[in-house]
Amino acid sequence: MDTKTINYQEERKVYYKVLVALLILTAITFIQPHLFMTGSTFLAQMLIAVVKAYLIVMYYMHLKGEKLIIPMVWFAMSLVTVFFIIVIGIDVANFQFGAESHITAAAEHSAGAVHTTPASTHH
């Protein structure tokens, strides 16, 4: 039987370090749009979120020692990506509101399409 002695004082220190790191990352989340990477705020915010999620999953959800976590994460991300591409492909193929869309209307306008406005009906 494999018995392992766990030093709870050392583990507590690790959890406090992770907590401090999460608090610092949360503060950076609020400060970042005003100080650095102002041109790519979305990218910076997503990177911070991924680091925070990693810390939470690995330490607070106790998945640090799991062997299958990386392959399962890749599998889940691949599955979501495939479904996302399928749904977006179906949606784009069946897009029926081209006249009301700001995106397609701008594309038609730049292509030389003539837009007319309805005549005023004031008496």
User: In this model, does residue 52 exceed pLDDT 90?
Assistant: yes
- The C-alpha atoms of residue 82 and residue 80 are separated, in whole angstroms, by 6
**pTM assigned to the model:** 0.55
Calpha distance 116→31 (Å, rounded)? 47
- Alpha-carbon span 44 to 27, nearest angstrom: 13
Q: Across all residues in the chain, what is the average pLDDT?
A: 80
Per the model's pLDDT, the better-predicted residue between 114 and 32 turns out to be 32
Q: How far is CA 120 from the centre of its chain?
A: 47
Q: Provide the sign of the torsion angle of the four alpha carbons 62, 68, 69, 72, taken in this order.
A: negative
CB 69 within 8 A of CB 63: yes
Return the pLDDT at 36. Answer: 76
Which of 74, 79, 28, 75 lies closest to 51 in space, CA to CA? 28
Over residues 62-88, the pLDDT tens digits come to 878 788 877 888 899 899 999 999 998
CA distance 21 to 33: 19
Please report how the helices 41-55 and 8-35 are oriented relative to each other, as an axis angle in degrees rounded to 10: 170
Is 2 a residue whose pLDDT tops 60? yes
Question: For residue 23, what pLDDT band results from cuts at 50, 70 and 90?
Answer: very high
Task: Report pLDDT for 89.
Answer: 86
